[in-house]
């Protein structure tokens, strides 16, 4: 098996967006009297998209406020998308080393916001396709967006690999028949990613070219 396509998650994989997500969540929840969340707390909540992120901070008794709270979150986040967000170490200089592979961005963040984040840091041109939560009928952990990205690029799932920092990326990859690399520099620990079933663990973004070469070499043995 050769690797032709690398699929990347965004938040917690390419960029650390925890500061801006935390600020937007705290802004949205403040009128409800919620104590401010820390970035470390928010990292534990990220992975299933904006609606679920907001829902997770609301107790059952306040679910009726969800639409209003969600709108406050969206308005603040869109206006402060990259105030604190930054690419992880190794992203900017390692992506060019992967130029021989097709690359897809599959995020549970909306497509426009995903594109805007990539563009802000000069990363957009590295990707052959960008898909967000509104780009496919289902979101991760469903395999649908991964399979759709591979199909649009004319690549078989078995010739693909997904790099992601959450259990939702790993679950989506396995469901799609795609090898998975856990991004241990992100919002989950290596132990959590292994428990989720990650096939490989990368401790740093710089590790990716080596791991992908190892995958390709093992397929020829």
Average pLDDT over residues 68-88: 94
Top-ranked range on mean pLDDT: pick from 26-40, 48-62, 72-86: 72-86
Q: Regarding predicted confidence, which is higher, 35 or 23?
A: 23
Average pLDDT over the chain reads 93
Nearest-10 Cα torsion for 122, 106, 135, 119: -10
- pLDDT at 94 exceeding the cut of 80: yes
Q: Which residue's structure tokens are 């397929």? A: 219
From the number of C-beta atoms within 10 Å of its C-beta (0-12, 13-18, 19+), residue 60 rates as exposed
Q: Could you give phi then psi for residue 36, rounded to 5 degrees?
A: -60, 140
Which has the minimum average pLDDT: 37-41, 86-90, 200-204?
A: 37-41
Task: Give pLDDT, residue 64.
Answer: 52
- pLDDT at 60 exceeding the cut of 80: no
Q: How far apart are CA 221 and CA 81, in angstroms?
A: 46
- pLDDT at 62 exceeding the cut of 80: no
Angle at 109 between CA 111 and CA 5, to 5 degrees: 70
Task: Give pLDDT, residue 50.
Answer: 81
Task: Give pLDDT, residue 194.
Answer: 97
Taking a C-beta distance cutoff of 8 angstroms, is the pair 147, 176 a contact? Answer: yes
Q: Is the overall model pTM greater than 0.85, yes or no?
A: yes
Is it true that domain 5-16+86-220 has CATH number 3.40.50.1000?
yes
Catalogue the active-site residues: 9
Model confidence band, residue 95 (pLDDT cutoffs 50, 70, 90): very high
Parse the chain into domains and list their residue ranges.
Answer: 5-16+86-220, 18-79
Task: Give pLDDT, residue 219.
Answer: 72
Peptide bond into 80 cis (omega under 30): no
Taking a C-beta distance cutoff of 8 angstroms, is the pair 53, 45 a contact? Answer: yes
Average pLDDT over residues 63-92: 89
Q: How far apart are CA 199 and CA 189, in angstroms?
A: 14
Q: Regarding predicted confidence, which is higher, 58 or 146?
A: 146
- pLDDT at 75 exceeding the cut of 70: yes
Q: How far apart are CA 97 and CA 12, in angstroms?
A: 20
Task: Give pLDDT, residue 220.
Answer: 66
Average pLDDT over residues 5-10: 98
pLDDT in tens, 174-213: 999 999 999 999 999 999 999 999 999 999 999 999 999 9
């Amino acid at each position: 098996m050769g690797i032709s396509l690398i699929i990347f998650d965004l938040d917690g994989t390419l960029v650390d967006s925890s500061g801006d997500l935390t600020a937007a969540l705290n802004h949205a929840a403040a009128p409800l009297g919620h104590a401010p969340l820390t970035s470390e707390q928010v990292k534990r909540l990220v992975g299933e998209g904006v609606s679920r992120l907001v829902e997770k901070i609301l107790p059952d008794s306040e679910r009726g406020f969800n639409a209003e709270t969600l709108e406050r979150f969206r308005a603040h986040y869109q206006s402060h998308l990259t105030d604190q967000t930054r690419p992880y170490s190794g992203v900017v200089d390692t992506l060019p080393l992967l130029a021989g592979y097709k690359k897809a961005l599959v995020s549970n963040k909306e497509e426009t916001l995903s594109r805007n984040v990539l563009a802000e840091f000069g990363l957009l041109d590295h990707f052959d396709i960008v898909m967000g939560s509104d780009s496919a009928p289902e979101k991760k952990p469903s395999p649908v967006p991964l399979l759709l990205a591979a199909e649009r690029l004319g690549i078989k799932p078995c010739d693909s690999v997904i790099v992601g920092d959450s259990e939702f990326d790993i679950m989506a990859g396995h469901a799609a028949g795609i090898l998975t690399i856990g991004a241990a520099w992100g919002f989950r620990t290596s132990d959590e990613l292994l428990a989720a079933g990650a096939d490989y663990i990368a401790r740093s973004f710089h590790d990716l070219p080596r791991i992908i070469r190892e995958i390709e070499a093992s397929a020829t043995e």
